[in-house]
Amino acid sequence: MDLFSLPKNASSLKFKKQNAHIMGLCLTYHVNLGLSLRMTALALKEVHGIDISHTMVANYSRTAASIIKPFVDTYNYPVSSTVVADETYIKVRGIKGYVWFVMDALSRSIIGYQVSDNRGVGPCILAMRMALERLKKLPENFKFIADGYSAYLLAAQQFSLQIENPKTFDITQVIGLTNDDAVSKEFRPFKQLVERLNRTFKASYRVTCGYDNYDGANYSLALWVAYYNFLRPHKITGWDKPLNEIELLTRSDNMPGKWQLLIYLGQKTILQLQNQQEPQVFCS
């Protein structure tokens, strides 16, 4: 995703008729509550008296995703010694596509994700790279748990062949639906964690009836991962805190305000990334 420009049909953050709070309301209804674009527009009109089109809701979501995504992707998630991965299918214009998730088994955070039009090794590597690239060294007794699909084995080989910061690890494969071997019996609970994550994602995905294009799928997934990792209360935290608690977000006592603060954090991340890419000037 280009960090230097907004995607096509995105909305400017210089509001003319609406304001940032209304944008936060759109994200709350659409992402947190899983309402479709049209139902979000209807809820804003009937509950708040705000007349806004479903197209504008989509533009707000696309803009927010493009700004928040760099913060979500580069956040320093705590990574334990056990990571689990899985893929699930989506529909893009009626054709099967895939979403890849890599999840830390201890914190339950999504540390890698990817949308693809195929189930090949390429998108598998990208999702695993997002999860592991930030680590200079793998934790002791590191375990990467996945199903029996061969793409994970091939992706792991690529990490060991990297010239810079190579990582060597084995893939623990949980095969089938029944515990027919000792490995599946021992590691089945970890595999069930990511399968539960897939079901949680699918609950929010179903209202879309599929995506119109892969850009839309990417933006929608980026917003959902931001919500899951930083805004959604979770069972492991007692249903009163998100998986990754950020002090700045606790300053807002309502969800539209938290979305605005996430956008602010995304803007700061983009500026930092842009400054890193600028050529350095040395003065003698």
SS (H, E, C) the chain: CCCCCCCCCCCCCCCCCCCHHHHHHHHHHHHHCCCCHHHHHHHHHHHHCCCCCHHHHHHHHHHHHHHHHHHHHHCCCCCCCEEEEEEEEEEECCEEEEEEEEEECCCCCEEEEEEECCCCHHHHHHHHHHHHCCCCCCCCCCEEEECCCHHHHHHHHHHHCCCCCCCCCCEEECCCCCCCCHHHHHHHHHHHHHHHHHHHHHHHHHHHCCECCHHHHHHHHHHHHHHHHHCCCCHHHCCCCCCCCCCCHHHCCCHHHHHHHHHHHHHHHHHHHHHHHCCCCCCC
Q: Are the CB atoms for 52 and 18 separated by under 8 Å? A: yes
Q: Which residue range is the domain that position 94 belongs to?
A: 82-212
pLDDT digits (tens, 9 = 90+) for 169-212: 999 999 877 777 888 889 999 999 999 999 999 888 876 677 88
Q: Which of 187, 212, 237 is the last residue of a domain?
A: 212
**Low-confidence winner among 25-34, 182-191, 208-217 (lowest mean pLDDT):** 208-217
Same domain assignment for residues 87 and 67? no
Same domain assignment for residues 168 and 91? yes
Same domain assignment for residues 52 and 107? no
Same domain assignment for residues 271 and 240? yes
At residue 162, the pLDDT reads: 81
Res. 10 pLDDT band, cuts 50 70 90: low
The CB density around residue 17, as the number of other CB atoms within 10 Å, is 9
The total number of structural domains that make up the chain: 2
Same domain assignment for residues 257 and 136? no
In this structure, are strands 82-92 and 171-173 parallel, antiparallel, or unpaired? unpaired
The CB density around residue 98, as the number of other CB atoms within 10 Å, is 19
Report the range out of 4-13, 38-47, 209-218 with the highest average pLDDT. Answer: 38-47
Closest CA to 62 of 104, 30, 109, 101: 30
Work out the mean pLDDT of the chain and round it to a whole number.
88
pLDDT digits (tens, 9 = 90+) for 270-282: 999 888 865 444 4
Same domain assignment for residues 141 and 208? yes
Q: Which of 181, 212, 243 is the last residue of a domain?
A: 212
- State yes or no: pLDDT of 9 exceeds 90: no
Q: Are the CB atoms for 57 and 177 separated by under 8 Å? A: no
CATH code, domain with 178: 3.30.420
pLDDT digits (tens, 9 = 90+) for 78-103: 899 999 999 999 999 889 999 999 99
Same domain assignment for residues 275 and 237? yes
Give Cα 188 to chain centroid, integer Å: 24
Q: Which of 174, 195, 212 is the last residue of a domain?
A: 212
At residue 7, the pLDDT reads: 56
At residue 11, the pLDDT reads: 61
Of 1 and 147, the structure prediction assigns the larger pLDDT to: 147
At residue 247, the pLDDT reads: 94
The CB density around residue 115, as the number of other CB atoms within 10 Å, is 23
In this structure, are strands 110-116 and 143-146 parallel, antiparallel, or unpaired? unpaired
At residue 164, the pLDDT reads: 79
